[in-house]
Amino acid sequence: MLSKQWTEELPVDGIKKIRSVAGGDVNQAYQVETSEGPYFLLTQPNRSGDFYRGEIAGLKALENAGVTAPRVIGSGQIEGDAYLLLTFLEEGRGKGSQRDLGKLIANMHQHYSPNGKFGFDEPSTSSDITYSNEWRDTWRELFVDQRMDELADKLIQNGSWNKKEEQQYQKVRAVMNEELTKHQSKPSLLHGDLWGGNHMFLTDGTPALFDPNALYGDREFDLGCSLVFNAFSDEFYRAYQEVYPLGPGYEKRLNFYSLYLLMIHQYKFGPIYAGGVNRTMNEILTNA
C-alpha cells in the first residue's frame, strides 16, 4: 500500500482514501477518493518519471480523435516510483452496445498520421517489451521488421522457440512480407492493444477506451488483435464494416495480428500460449 508521505506528493488535494484496484498485468493501480471526486492512479515501482510518456501521448491522441478516454491529471516520479494520475471513468454495468463500440473504432481509424508515415512520436513501453515506433514509410517495415522480428528474437533468446519454430516463423515472415508489400495500407490511429480488457461502457452507455499502446498503422492490426480472446461480438464487426469497410483479403491478414498478440503472450506468460502461436502460424501458411 502507498505510504502517506508518497500520496501527499500527488497533484490533487483532499485525498480521503486510496484503494487497490485491478490494473492489468503491467501496472499497480489504485482508485483515489478525494473531496473533488475519484481519480485513477497507475504506478510502476523503481521506474523513471518518463515511463508513462507513451501512454500519455496515446491518451492525448485518442482524445484529439474524439474518443472517450481518461484524461491525464499528472505524471512523474515519487520516491523512485513512476506514476500516472488520470480522471476516473465510472463503468455502467449492463450499459452500452457493441455496435456503438464498433462505430467508435471505425471512426478512430479514420484519423491518420500527420506526416503520412507509420509509427509514433513515443516508443511503446511496457514492463516486458519496448518498441521504438520509429517512423517508417511502409507498414510492412514497421510491423514485420520492427515488431515481429523483435518478438521472434525474444522468443528464441528466452528458449520459448526451438529451431523448428524459428524456421516456421521465417516461412510466415515471407508470407507477411509478400502480402503487406502489395496491400495498400494507410497510417490510421490505432489503439495498439485492443482486447476486451481495454474498453468499457460508461454509466450513460458511452463506449470508452483506455490503456492505449498507440501508433499510426494499418487498421487491420487493431481488428486482428481484437479476435484473439473473443471479447467482441459479431455486432461490433458488422458496425465497423458499415462505417469503414475493410479491403479484399483482410481475413487472412487479420491472422498476422492475432499471431503478434499471441507471441507477446507466449513471451510474457509462457508455454500456455504456444499452441495458439503454432496454430496461427500454420493457418497463415495454409491460407497463403
Q: What is the pTM of this model?
A: 0.95
Would you call 193 a catalytic residue per the annotation?
yes
The percent of residues in the chain predicted with pLDDT above 70, rounded, is 98
Check 50, 128, 153, 193 and give the catalytic one: 193
Compute the distance between CA of residue 190 and CA of residue 111 in angstroms, rounded to an integer: 9
The answer to whether residue 7 scores a pLDDT higher than 80 is yes
The answer to whether residue 14 scores a pLDDT higher than 70 is yes
Q: Render pLDDT for 230-272 as a digit per residue (tens, 0 to 9).
A: 999 999 999 999 999 999 999 999 999 999 999 999 999 999 9
Q: Render pLDDT for 175-186 as a digit per residue (tens, 0 to 9).
A: 999 999 999 999
Residues 6+ apart with CB under 8 A from 88: 31, 32, 37, 38, 39, 40, 70
The answer to whether residue 24 scores a pLDDT higher than 90 is no
Domains of the chain with bracketed CATH: 4-87 (3.30.200.20), 98-287 (3.90.1200.10)
The answer to whether residue 222 scores a pLDDT higher than 80 is yes
The count of other CB atoms within 10 Å of the CB of residue 196 is 12
Question: What letter does residue 32 receive in the DSSP assignment?
Answer: E
Provide Rg for the chain, Cα atoms: 20
The answer to whether residue 13 scores a pLDDT higher than 70 is yes
Question: What letter does residue 26 receive in the DSSP assignment?
Answer: T
Q: Render pLDDT for 68-92 as a digit per residue (tens, 0 to 9).
A: 999 999 999 999 999 999 999 999 9
CB 207 within 8 A of CB 176: no
Cα 101–chain centre separation: 16
The answer to whether residue 280 scores a pLDDT higher than 70 is yes
**137 phi, psi to nearest 5 deg:** -75, -25
